Amino acid sequence: MMSLKSFMAKQFAKNIYAKTQKWAKNPVKTQENVFQNLISKAVATQFGKDHDFISINSHEDFIKRVPVRDYEALKPYVDLVVQGKEDVLWPEKPIYFAKTSGTTSGAKYIPITKESMPSHVEAARNAILLYIHETGKSQFVNGKMIFLQGSPILNEQNGIQLGRLSGIVAHYVPKYLQKNRLPSWETNCIEDWETKVEVIVEETLPEDMTVISGIPSWVQMYFEKLQQKTGQRVGDVFKNFNLFIFGGVNYEPYRAKFENLIGRKVDSIELYPASEGFFAFQDRQDEKGMLLQLNSGIFYEFIKADEFFTENPKRITIKDVEIGVNYVMIISTNAGLWAYNIGDTVEFISVSPYRVIVSGRIKHFISAFGEHVIGKEVEQAMKEAIKNTDIRISEFTVAPEINPKSGLPYHEWFIEFENEPEDILALAKSIDKSLQTQNSYYFDLIQGKVLQPLKITTVVKNGFQNYMKSIGKLGGQNKIPRLSNDRKIVDTVKELNLVK
């Protein structure tokens, strides 16, 4: 018999589906409304005055007045907000700063306003509701759900609360979910990630876990500790666990390993959250990609990735995007970010409705030799190479070897295997073949004898975890970049003797 909670969830899901359809079927008009609303709200802010918002009536006007900026370029304005000034990037003060660790700028302070906060919460909720509406599965709402996230302890700076995004969001768990939610508040507040995971294992073992959520690499750590503790697969420990919700990285390289740890296939929902906004979520189980959130106070622009570093790259809106093109995503938001480059690249796989996949980072690519290899390509190559084999990968990253001791330069793949293949050379050959098929520049460099085929270096078990620990980034939202244009990461991995 269906529980009241389960019945209510289905009704709520029906309502949210109808609302989502309404804006998803009018995408250009929806985005136009968001744009006009953002500009009119921010006219009297310091940023609005500095960029003549009063004269902006169209996207063309906006392009002329507001250049694309990354965090470094926007920092002078953000610094004023951090000092406690009002009406700088958005009316009044933000209610939070999501503090993130920037790679070049040290800590980043990303504003979250009373207007932008609801979309961070609603998008995750709506992803689950649309899953219920599509599949009819709602029994899981009666079980326990775990969200592996950062500490909810917030600090204060000049009247503004400061913390990690996942910790801020923890304060907004709806009442009807609070009894179902794990870990406990006290456990969530544990800063040391390894200690925290140990305690989470103890807390969740006796419970009926139905939903597990988090960044795959950290959920994997939780699953492994569960298995060590019980000697059982996760699906046997939690018999009603049938939904995995994840974001932050591509799940595909982890899928085989997860299915082995769980012992069966489970449904999954992909999310695309960031401190700067909640951009997309998977709205259908039978479709690839995530529904771009066009009605969440975020105005999107796109620049072709291969034109991004040219003199005057063209900025387009959703109405002009094409399927299969790699774009840098630029956002303007009701948190006061304007023509802001978050550093991600996306690719549209549908324009009716607008669905995207995250293809990589504009800064995370390898082009040491002009090959322009991106994250999506190395992940696809790995996926194809281990398909129909029993090889399972825990983690990997790729770097160029520009000055080898002998022979031509090459791409070096640092791979941590769960079960190492008997023939590493055959795996390397298979990955290389896939990469050449996907990337014509790489193909030309191999064929033209500028590069030799890639080589694999094996990382010891838990090597990447130990690397992350060594740089103080174990757990939370932190993750290993799939690829880098330099050898900073892999050199450290080698220095720490984490390779075989």
| CATH tag for 1-363 (out of 1.10.10, 3.40.50, 1.10.4030, 2.60.40) | 3.40.50
pLDDT exceeds cutoff 90 at 135: yes
**Mean pLDDT calculated for residue range 176-190:** 84
Q: Residues 123, 23: contact at Cβ < 8 Å? A: no
Instruction: Give the pLDDT confidence of 345-395 residue by residue, as tens digits.
Output: 999 999 999 999 998 888 777 888 878 788 889 999 999 999 989 999 999
pLDDT exceeds cutoff 50 at 294: yes
Q: Residues 160, 40: contact at Cβ < 8 Å? A: no
pLDDT exceeds cutoff 90 at 397: yes
Beta pairing class for 298-304 and 290-292: unpaired
Instruction: State phi, psi for 236 to the nearest 5 degrees.
Output: -85, -30
The CATH number that domain 365-495 falls under is 3.30.300
Query: Taking the CB of residue 428, how many other CB atoms lie within 10 A of it?
Result: 20
The pLDDT value given to residue 361: 81
The pLDDT value given to residue 103: 43
What's 369's DSSP letter?
T
pLDDT exceeds cutoff 60 at 102: no
Domain edges within the chain: 1-363, 365-495
Helix axes 117-135 and 4-24, enclosed angle (nearest 10)? 110
Instruction: Give the pLDDT confidence of 258-270 residue by residue, as tens digits.
Output: 999 999 999 999 9
What is this structure's pTM?
Answer: 0.83
pLDDT exceeds cutoff 90 at 341: yes
The pLDDT value given to residue 105: 47
The pLDDT value given to residue 485: 85
The pLDDT value given to residue 106: 62
Interatomic CA distance for residues 174 and 168, integer angstroms: 13
pLDDT exceeds cutoff 90 at 47: yes
Closest CA to 298 of 77, 113, 97, 99: 113
Give the helix ranges, DSSP H, for 136-192.
Answer: 165-169, 175-178, 185-188
